[in-house]
Structure 1
Amino acid sequence: MKYDYIVAAPGQGSQKPGVLDGWMDRSRTARRQVEEWSSRCGVNLIDASRDDEKLKDTAFAQPVIVAASLLSVRQTVRYLGTSSEVILFAGHSVGELAAAAAAGYITDADAVFLACVRGAAMSAACTEPRTGMAAVMPARRDPASDEEIQQTIHDAGLEIANWNGCHQYVAAGRYERIKALAEQEHNGVRVVTLPVAGAFHTSTMEPVVTVFEKALSDTEFRDAGTALVGNGDGEVVTKAADVRSRLLTQVTSPVRWDLCMRTLNKQAKDATFIELAPRGPLTRLYRGTYPDTTCVPVSRPEDLAVFNMLG
């Protein structure tokens, strides 16, 4: 199969106030959709998307991120005049819900609802014990190797929650260990704490599994004839049952975005890489790994004009 486009949906950390406004202003249908999603979730997504404090809460951030990705992918695909069969989909963390909907395995409404359930359960799981996450990467001077970075994380008693590629990792675990890791000096390693509520994609999220499994089992999944790259191992997924299973297991498992990028480039080497709203770090990571790839981050409707210049 020849793919013309790679469509990647970002995860938590990409949210920012007003992320839905441009897409709703461009389309009355989009505004109605968000209102319908809000009603089903019992959360006013429009208000939440404009509130910086609420966006710091996982319970609000996750459905807003998925909503933004879905509004942007529908308008992007329509703008390009293409079909999903020539797109290879992928999503980082909660972005995998948006990717699954964009690829046709679940409805957009179900994706946003599942993000609400997932986000609320994760937020609740972050209360005790206190946990956190930190980005760990090579220092600019005398940079450490990947193996040395991994060892630094393990020596701190932490788990690797995200293998993001481009020599970038996310450590997760007990907050005091994250704090100690950030405050200590490390040869060739740079550490930046992340503004998240807990240790996502680790065993700390085990309480989320039962709640989210029930929501997934109540959701209709259907085979879509499209391909999705799973963020747990970078494998190409084409069956609805497999998509459902992976959405559950990734809650407590590391995100292997490094393997996703490898598969995306192998399967769609000449494709244009599109990162959906809210537009996080995925473009930077992909461009850094495959510098010859044409990358288009779509954060606002105005960004669609870039495609006119690509020909």
Structure 2
Amino acid sequence: MSLAFLFPGQGSQAVGMGQGLIEAFSVAREVFQEVDDALGQKLSALMKDGPEDQLTLTENAQPALMAVSVALARVLDRDFGVSMDRAAFAAGHSLGQYSALCAAGAISMSDTARLLKLRGQAMQRAVPVGEGAMASLIGPKSDLALAEAAAKAGSAAGVCVVANDNNAGNIVISGTKAGVDLAIEKAKELGARAIPLNVSAPFHSPLMQPAADEMAEALAGAGISVPVIPIVDNVTARPESDPEAIRRLLVEQVTGRVRWRESMEWMAGEGGVTRFAELGSGKVLTGMAKRIAPDAEAVALNGPEDIEAFAKTL
């Protein structure tokens, strides 16, 4: 049985996430402390007690979600003897790709925390609040072709692109507010439900180019090593292990489409993965896995009980 570890992205954050881990495992407490030290802030206190509006800020949510994911990976390794290389691949959704790289030993914990803090700040700086927008196109008719058609229609009023190809029935568009608003109208004409998202910036669109430029400079000075297992990249939907390619693709990821459906299809197909384990807060990627690869097993590991039960099956 071939295994892949999955690492969630923004939107999975919740006040209280990771608390069961730090109460049960010293290595989890060490991870949270290391992130606090790297950022010079008590992010762990914000994760524990909120307020939620502060945790949801992109610059806080991104390193916080990474901390929970990496803590889970280290607990699996140190306390249950399940190292990352027990899996064939790892993949992370947007910021989750940084979590995957950190868990796989490609980027240090402190560097990952600082990079994600900067990534969140740079994304927020790139477009003034209110000028950008994102929307989720959902329902049985919401496939990539429909989303592309809606985005093309929206482009008549401004920037509009497909940002996240999550799975059939769940595709996200991003761009200027005018562009996305027009795309929503087109999507509804084509038979999709279109829901505007409560986000602070138009992620994974060309409008994020200033953030990509900031990340290029930051990543140029970051140490990146060969991960212990290949990381299936958001931009290419294929496994990558070369440090310089990883560095380049992390920059491209800021403005590029998250090709999650294709990544999952590749792992479940050519990659031979029959089991997916989501390491982090929530169960978003587990739900997607069950829709994209229904013949594979998918499980979410959120806390001590999940980890213990999972380890016993290996």
Q: 1:46 to 1:225 in 2, by over 3 A?
A: closer
The alpha-carbon deviation at position 292 of structure 1 amounts to 1.7
1:21 and 2:19 equivalent? yes
Q: Is the 8 A contact 2:261 2:292 kept in 1?
A: no
Aligned residue among 266, 286, 300 for 1:263: 266
Deviations along 1:195-250, one digit per CA (max 9) or x if unpaired, are 21111111111111232122212211112342111111111112111111111110
Q: Is the 8 A contact 1:7 1:90 kept in 2?
A: yes
Q: Is the 8 A contact 2:76 2:83 kept in 1?
A: no
Partner of 1:164: 166
1:63 and 2:51 equivalent? no
Partner of 2:284: 281
What letter corresponds to residue 56 of structure 2 in structure 1? K
Deviations along 1:92-141, one digit per CA (max 9) or x if unpaired, are 101000011112111122212211111111122242562121111235xx
Alignment of 1:132-147 (within 5 A): 132-139=133-140, 143=141, 146-147=144-145
Secondary structure of 1:199's counterpart equals coil
Partner of 1:245: 248
Alignment of 1:82-161 (within 5 A): 82-87=82-87, 88-127=89-128, 130-139=131-140, 143=141, 146-157=144-155, 158-161=160-163
The alpha-carbon deviation at position 179 of structure 1 amounts to 4.3
Q: Within 2, Cα distance between the matches of 1:129 and 1:93?
A: 22
1:175 and 2:184 equivalent? no
Q: Is the 8 A contact 1:104 1:226 kept in 2?
A: no
Q: Within 2, Cα distance between the matches of 1:55 and 1:86?
A: 32
Secondary structure of 2:255's counterpart equals coil
Deviations along 1:117-167, one digit per CA (max 9) or x if unpaired, are 11111122242562121111235xxx3554233212321222101111224
What letter corresponds to residue 94 of structure 1 in structure 2? L
What letter corresponds to residue 151 of structure 1 in structure 2? A
Partner of 2:28: 30
Q: Is the 8 A contact 1:11 1:280 kept in 2?
A: no
1:196 and 2:199 equivalent? yes
Secondary structure of 2:277's counterpart equals strand
Deviations along 1:50-95, one digit per CA (max 9) or x if unpaired, are 3201122111111111111111121134455233333111111010
The alpha-carbon deviation at position 270 of structure 1 amounts to 4.5
Secondary structure of 2:133's counterpart equals strand
Q: What is the Cα-based RMSD across aligned positions, in Å? A: 2.2
What letter corresponds to residue 132 of structure 1 in structure 2? A
Q: TM-score, normalised by structure 2?
A: 0.89
Structure 2 gaps, min length 5: none
Structure 1 gaps, min length 5: none
Aligned residue among 7, 10, 13 for 1:9: 7
Choose 33-42 or 61-70, whichever is displaced more. 33-42
Q: Is the 8 A contact 1:91 1:97 kept in 2?
A: yes
Q: 1:192 to 1:127 in 2, by over 3 A?
A: same
Q: Within 2, Cα distance between the matches of 1:83 and 1:278?
A: 19
Q: Is the 8 A contact 1:20 1:46 kept in 2?
A: no
Q: Within 2, Cα distance between the matches of 1:293 and 1:79?
A: 26
Secondary structure of 1:292's counterpart equals coil
Secondary structure of 1:53's counterpart equals helix
Choose 264-273 or 296-305, whichever is displaced more. 264-273
Q: Is the 8 A contact 2:31 2:70 kept in 1?
A: no
Q: Is the 8 A contact 2:27 2:71 kept in 1?
A: no
Give the number of aligned pairs.
306
Q: TM-score, normalised by structure 1?
A: 0.90
Q: Is the 8 A contact 1:130 1:175 kept in 2?
A: yes
What letter corresponds to residue 115 of structure 1 in structure 2? L
The alpha-carbon deviation at position 33 of structure 1 amounts to 2.8
Identity %: 27
What letter corresponds to residue 164 of structure 1 in structure 2? N
1:300 and 2:303 equivalent? yes
